[in-house]
Amino acid sequence: MDHDHAFRRERLAIVTGGSRGLGRALVARLVERGWRIIVDARDGDRLDRAVQGLAVPERVTAIPGDVADPDHRRAVAAAAAVTGGLDLLVNNASALGPSPQPALSDYPLDALGRVVAVNALAPLALVQAVLPLLAARRGRVINVSSDAAAEAYPGWGGYGASKAALEHLSATLAAEHPELLVYAFDPGDMATDMHQRAFPGEDISDRPAPEAVVPALRRLIEGELPSGRYRAADRTAVPA
C-alpha cells in the first residue's frame, strides 16, 4: 500500500488544543497534506487567528470551547458525524495546573481535579463520543502525553499523574479495540506557552520548537506502528 498516497487523500481529523504549540503545528502540516480538520481551543480569538494563518483555512472547522465541557465535546463529535467517519483523533489539549507547580503535599485538590478532568477524562470522553466514527474507518487515536507520566519529577506530580492515567487509558483502549490504533505520544520538552508557564521567569528558548516534533507524529499517523507508547526522542521507533 502506498501510504503517502493514502495520506494525501482527503481524510478527517479532530485535533484538540489547536490554537498554539504542538496542536497548531500539527494542524498546519495536516492541512498542507490535504486533510480536513476539526480543531478546538479555549481561546476563541486565538483559535480564529491560528486558523486564518493556515495555508488553506477553508479546510478547517474551528469550534472554540473547553474539552472538559460535555456540551463542547458533543459539538465536536456532531461536526465529525456529518462526514460519517473519522480517521484521526489527536487529544492534544492539556492543563498544566498551578504555576509555579506545587509539591503534592501542597497541591490544591480542586486544581488537581481540573487537571485530571482535562488531561485524562476529557480525552476518554471524546473517544467515547466518536468511537463509532473511528471504527467505521479503522481510525487512530493519539493521546499526547509527557515524560512526567513515566518519571517522578518534583513539582510535576499532579500533571504527571494525569498523564499517567491517560497512558493507562490509552493502553486499555488499544487492548479493548484492536480495530483501532491507539498511541500515547511523549513529545518531550518544547518551547511552548505551557512549558514556559511551568518554568516562570526562565529562558526555555533552547527547547525544540513544536514544528520539530511534528515529523514524529506523522510517523504515527502515516505508518503502521502498533498501538503503544512512543517518544519523539526515540528516533529508532519514531524517526523524525
| Residue numbers annotated as active site | 145-146, 159, 163
What type of residue sits at position 215?
A: P
The 3-state DSSP class for residue 209 equals: coil
What DSSP assignment string belongs to 119-138? IIIHHHHHHHHHHHHHHHTT
The 3-state DSSP class for residue 143 equals: strand
- CB 213 within 8 Å of CB 190: yes
> Cβ contacts of residue 100 below 8 Å, gap of 6+?
155, 200
Strand partners, 229: 184
> How far is it, in rounded angstroms, from Cα 185 to Cα 37?
20
